[in-house]
Amino acid sequence: MDFALTEEQLAFRQLARDFLEKEVVPFRAEWDRRESVDTAIIPKMGEVGFFGLTVPEEYGGVGGDYLTYCLGMEELGRADSAVRGIVSVSTGLFGKIVLDHGSEEQKQEWLPGIATGTRLGCFGLTEPDNGSDPASLKTRATRDGSDWVINGSKIFITNGTWADVCMVFARTGGPGAKGISAFLVPTDSPGFVRTEIHGKLGLRGQATAELTFDGVRVPAAAMVGNEGEGFRFAMKSLDKGRVSVAAGCVGIVQACLEAVVSYSQERK
């Protein structure tokens, strides 16, 4: 219902639609066939403000409330949900944890790049043996002096082969949710291996990867929040991810209905 939207929200929605109609819609079929979007679209989306939604201006974002965020995700879903996933994971999952729970130093280091699309984040939670039971994850971080050393693997990680940094959830304590901590791990770290997954049935344009950690060493300052808080951070962040998926699905349905109407008119 448009009457419930502010002038700023309406203007952003129109800006988003005009941009995506020009820069994404004409290419989405090709990107799907070749299983990769043109990554040149990422900084362009940053300029429009997609990545900066809900990120405060002081960290390089454009601010905005969650309704505006949903409008952006809806338009991205309407254009190409594979592109929506790139934004949703980088700013909605990765960025939300840094913003809500990161230290000031972590925010200053990562959020400006995330908010402008000049850097991408990924969300390293799912593992080969416990996709539906993340509290049982096996990736482990072991303390070694002033560092943590990470060993293990993740799978089906969106942005995995493109990201500059990964939010890695690893076991630092005993079994269960309370033994899991979160770490900011640059993807160029020694021992960090990324293998792209091909042959997906959907969202083919977005990069999805298996990640392997073979003795990846990070400083103590890489931990987000306190030890044992990682699982709670992940679950809270996934709430924002679900909002993005829901809004994106609304956009997909809109595109389907528009296609049906267009086809019917052509048949007349």
Q: For every residue of the chain, which 3-state class applies, written as one string?
A: CHHHCCHHHHHHHHHHHHHHHHHCHHHHHHHHHHCCCCCCHHHHHHHHCCCCECCCHHHCCCECCHHHHHHHHHHHHHHCHHHHHHHHHHHHHHHHHHHHHCCHHHHHHHHHHHHHCCCCEEEECCCCCCCCCHHHCCCEEEEECCEEEEEEEEEEEECCCCCCEEEEEEECCCCCHHHEEEEEEECCCCCEEEEECCCCCCCCCCCEEEEEEEEEEEEHHHEECCCCCHHHHHHHHHHHHHHHHHHHHHHHHHHHHHHHHHHHHHHC
> Are residue 77 and residue 6 in the same domain, yes or no?
yes
- Dist. CA 50–CA 42, nearest whole Å: 10
> pTM surpassing 0.85?
yes
> Are residue 8 and residue 109 in the same domain, yes or no?
yes
> Are residue 128 and residue 96 in the same domain, yes or no?
no
3 — pLDDT class (breaks 50, 70, 90): low
Model pLDDT for residues 226-268, shown as the tens digit of each residue: 999 999 999 999 988 899 999 999 999 999 999 898 878 777 7
CATH code for the domain of 68: 1.10.540.10
Model pLDDT for residues 160-191, shown as the tens digit of each residue: 999 999 999 999 999 999 999 999 999 999 99
> Are residue 158 and residue 60 in the same domain, yes or no?
no
Structural domains counted in the chain:
2
> Are residue 141 and residue 91 in the same domain, yes or no?
no
Average confidence score pLDDT of the chain: 94
> Are residue 25 and residue 102 in the same domain, yes or no?
yes
Please give the pLDDT value at position 132: 80
> Are residue 106 and residue 151 in the same domain, yes or no?
no
> Are residue 74 and residue 131 in the same domain, yes or no?
no
> Are residue 65 and residue 97 in the same domain, yes or no?
yes
Token duo for residue 130: 């416990």
Please give the pLDDT value at position 18: 97
- Section 89-111 average pLDDT: 96
> Are residue 126 and residue 177 in the same domain, yes or no?
yes
Q: Which amino acid is at 21?
A: E
- Domain holding 58, by residue range, is 2-119+234-267
101 — pLDDT class (breaks 50, 70, 90): very high
